[in-house]
A and B are shown apart, each in its own frame.
Chain A
Amino acid sequence: MLEVSNLACSRGDHRLFSELSFTLDFGQIMQVQGTNGSGKTSLLRTLCGFIIPDEGDITWRGESTRELDEEYFAEMMYLGHLNSIKDELSALENLRISSGFSGVELDEKEAISALSRMGLRGRELLPTKVLSQGQRRRVALARLLVSQAKLWVLDEPLAALDVGAVALIQELIAEHLKKQGAVIFTTHQPLEVAGIEMRSISLS
């Protein structure tokens, strides 16, 4: 489980948040709330280790994430504002490569079935630069389907998605939680997961 204690983070001279503590157990989901610029993305990026916090600790299964390093990365997945897909590559190539980076080799059949579940059937081999914004987001989100990670860190996963895709993401999150996964995310759109208590933390 993820445990954050006394976390403080600033960007430039501006203190975003301080004395932030929470725990996230397996099977739980937590929404980070706050206005624009309140530090939601910074908090998630701190959890990924991109930003070194001013104070406080982040522990995973009782050990500091900084010491765990690669062991922690093997169990977490981050989906940021940027889709991290390459325009020149096809959806299929993008998915297989990003899955390769997370340490899982994906064969073509698995990748295609993940992409068609994301509603990209027939578009697997097109270069992603010809896809729409929403479709590109779907390519990025297809990583959720093939990920083996326990902890999902999702920054605005619903941006640019249509109603059908939002429902699908909710379904995926519900499945993940049922498998004793944990999710921490930010969103400005309503996201509900049936039968599971939505915890929230507010940054001001």
Chain B
Amino acid sequence: MKKSSLLDLLVLVIRRDLVLAMRRRADVLTTLIFFVMVVSLFPLGVGPEMAMLRKMAAGVLWVAALLSSMLSLGRLFSADYLDGTLEQMMLAPQSLSMLVLGKMVAHWMVSGLPLVLMAPVLGLQFDMSVEALGVLILGLLLGSPVLSMIGAIGAALTLGLRGGGVLLSLLVLPLTIPVLIFGTGAVEAISSGLDITSHLSFLGALLLLALVFTPWVTAQALRISME
């Protein structure tokens, strides 16, 4: 037996959540399939006008990513809450914020990263150029962790509420608007030959801010929900 450090704890939580996700694969797949479906419905519904599809591509992909990340948020803390694991986490002698950060990272790896990897394939349906696809991925890489982290606050606040899922989306979606604007803005900028650094730096700044503040806020929200 040896005492574990803060980093050990982070690794422990991430590994645990990834193992759990692998043993409940259906949950992971539904998010991804939802994303693929929503994005694929647009070319079918709008029709094969290349100019129009190219113009709306970034928006559709980003909105679909937003919505599908909402799908899995409800499960972020609820399973742990129902079986009592969350109580044990709150009694951990290390920082609860660190634990929460671990859960956020694991959640992103399971429900955010697959979307990022899938996006270029779906982007082809919209006839996006290679540069635009590159910027889209970069934007999603910076932006999707922010969605997981802001979403975690909402998930913690709505923990144990009936109909929490809908309330969660109503709470979280407005907060993700900046991510959406700068994410799609970057793709639009590259398509019209403008500089993308400002958009991406803003996304990066949002990511850093979220990384610093959201674990702590989520931890406080969890303490309130536990009472």
Contact = CB atoms under 8 A, between A and B. Distances in A.
A84 B83 contact: yes
Interface of B: 1-4, 8-9, 12, 16, 19-20, 23-24, 82-85, 87-95, 99, 226-227
Contacts of A73: 91-93
A105 B87 contact: no
A23 to B, nearest CB: 22
Contacts of A124: none
Contacts of A87: 83
Given A50-B87, A97-B16, A74 B24 contact: no
Interface residues of A, number: 37
Contacts of A126: none
Nearest to B224: A52
B20 A98 contact: no
Interface of A: 48-52, 70-71, 73-74, 76-78, 80-89, 93, 97-98, 100-107, 110, 127, 146, 148
A115 to B, nearest CB: 15
A105 B94 CA distance: 13
Contact of B8 (A85, A93, A100): A100
Contacts of A49: 90
Given A70-B95, A81-B84, A105-B2, 4 more contacts: A49-B90, A51-B227, A84-B87, A103-B3
B23 to A, nearest CB: 4
B1 A50 contact: no
B12 to A, nearest CB: 5
Contact of B20 (A51, A86, A146): A86
B94 A146 contact: no
Nearest to B22: A88
